[in-house]
Structure formats: C-alpha cells, structure tokens
Chains A and B, each alone.
Chain A
Amino acid sequence: QVQLQESGPGLVKPSETLSLTCTVSGGSISSSYWSWIRQPPGRGLEWIGLVSESGFKKYNPSLRSRVVISVETSKNQFSLNLSSVTAADTAVYYCARDEGAGYFDNWGQGTLVTVSS
C-alpha cells in the first residue's frame, strides 16, 4: 500500500520561498505521476502541478511563473518550491499520486503552511 507524507516548514515569511517534500513509501516513485494540490482554509482544492520520474512536468498556468516541482528518485521523494509567497498562498498542501489515468488514487495527509511575517 503506497503511502505519501508531506514535510516542511509550517510558517513562511512573505516574499520568501515555500519548500515542501513528499516522501513515498510502500512503492516506487519511478512509476506514476506525482502532484501537489493545495486548499486554502475554508476553500476548495487547487491543483499546483505534477512531475514524473522521467522529468515530465506540468504546472497550473496561474502558478507557473512561481512553481518548480522536482523528483529525487534515490530518496523516493518529490518536492515543491513556490517562490515569492504572499498570504494568499496560505493553505493545506497535499501531495498525491496519479497513475496516468486521470485521477488521484493516493493522497498524503496534508500539511498546513502559513505565510506570515
């Protein structure tokens, strides 16, 4: 059973870079696509982007200028970097697996990131 776990700072200052890591256990990161999805408090879900082990990447057009998603195969991890953050980036950030069939079958538990000085 594949499990995903997000990790990273829970507080980021405005204008700085938000960095999160998702660790995949119980399966290999070498298959599937791996996404980041976020949810501002009290609001809906927003897809941020995805990466595959081969380096294939897609980003949400609304965030593309600030987002980098990368994969570290040796550690079975993938990461999110979101630059120039503002309070609007405060959200619970989830990592999720997509096996290329158009849906997310596995989610991490989520981690709250607050942007505040």
Chain B
Amino acid sequence: QSVLTQPPSASGTPGQRVTISCSGGSSNIGSNTVSWYRQLPGTAPKLLIYNFNQRPSGVPDRFSGSKSGTSASLAINGLQSEDEAAYYCAEWSDSLNGYVFGAGTMVTVL
C-alpha cells in the first residue's frame, strides 16, 4: 500500500556515501514533512530524521536529509558496518488522511 517509492536496496563500502530517495504521489512530499527511520534487524524502527532534515539528539551528523520538489532523500556519509539496516521514509498523506510509509530500503555494507 506504499504511496512513497523507495529503492529496495542500496549498498556501499565502509566510508562511502549512500543516498536513498523517497518519492511520492501528487499529494505527497511537498505539502507535509517527511521523516526517516532506521530499523536494525530484529528491533523496532528508530527516528533518524524529521521535518526533512532535522536530527533528533543522539543521531550522528553523518546522517542528513533533504527535499527537492516532490522527493526527499536520506544521505549516509562515512558508511559504517552498523549502518546495515532497513531505512523507511514516512509522511502524513492528505489524500489518504493518514500516515504512509515507503516500502523500505535495505542498506548493505560491502
């Protein structure tokens, strides 16, 4: 039921930069804030980015978010082995009158 589109996978070697896109339908991303979550295997998702580019306290600054038109992006600089996880974007959808998540992107550290 995802109305936010994410690539299913992304990968990089330690130290590299990885970016993940999140694109929406006509009524998404542009009118409401996007948040990003990281889910390590077997654990609950954790807030990584909110309001497109804000980091909660405790989240390293090598994680950054941005918005361009009707898309949002998450960048991981200086990729580390512990970044191997699933990453989800989310937004409030005015058309569905509820929250929607992207299908998730699995990041692999090579």
Contacts and interface: CB of A to CB of B under 8 A. Distances in A.
Interface of A: 35, 44-47, 49-50, 58-62, 94, 101-105, 107-110
Contacts of A59: 98
Interface residues of B, number: 27
Interface string B74-91: 000000000000001011
A94 B44 contact: yes
Interface string B53-71: 0001000000000000000
A45 B32 contact: no
A34 B97 CA distance: 16
Interface string B1-31: 1100000000000000000000000000000
Nearest to A104: B47
